[in-house]
Amino acid sequence: MWHGRRYGRVMTGAVLTGLLAAAPLAAGAADMASQGKSTTEEAKTAVSDSWITSKTKIALFADDRVKGTQVGVDTKNGVVHLRGKVDSADAKMAAAETAQGIEGVRSVKNDLQVVAPANRKAVDANDKDIAKAVENRLSGDAQMKKVDVRTDSGVVTLTGEVPTIMASAKASEVARSVPGVKSVKNELALNK
């Protein structure tokens, strides 16, 4: 009998020692899991913020009330920050409305400055010249090789495929920077 009790105490001691040794490992694993979750959430926020920024730029380039090339867009935690110069108070308000309409935007910080258009040089170009200039600028980027350009009364329509949403935003930005372009309709698809 005495031998059985001693065996039971040894087993109980061994089990307790094992549990005590495993406790810090389990706690460390829980900490690592929460850190991994935090890192994953940060990555999702970063992707989400870059997605919001890209979608906002695309929308601003498409809005003929706003000259998208003059508007800088940054997003942090769903808050869109607009900076740059616009022609009128209406354009400033339109930019904020456009940004607010993007899915995932929590709020808009509008730091756009109104600058008189008289200080800007207007360039009238025909649609064929505009389309050619946009195509030339896009052809320098490997991601833009499958982008087709159509121009109608200064409105550029982009169709075709690009690899990422950021490439899509860049295509709009490049097209909008061409003199004579009034707005950009981005109908690009993401190739998978």
Tell me whether residue 63 is in a domain: no
Is 180 a domain residue?
Answer: yes
| pLDDT of 23 over the 50 cut | no
What's residue 5's pLDDT?
A: 55
Q: Is residue 116 part of a domain?
A: no
Residue 157 placed within a domain: yes
Give a yes or no: residue 171 inside a domain: yes
Q: pLDDT (tens digit, 9 = 90+) per residue, 29-79?
A: 444 444 544 555 555 555 588 999 999 999 999 888 887 667 889 899 999
Q: Which domain holds residue 165?
A: 122-192
CATH number at residue 151: 3.30.1340.30
**DSSP letters along 98-124, please?**
HHHTSTT--EEEEEEEE--GGGS----
Q: Is the pTM of this model over 0.75?
A: no
* Percent of the chain residues past pLDDT 70, beyond the cut: 69
Looking at the DSSP bridge assignments, the partners of residue 158 are 149, 186
Number of domains observed in the structure of the chain: 1
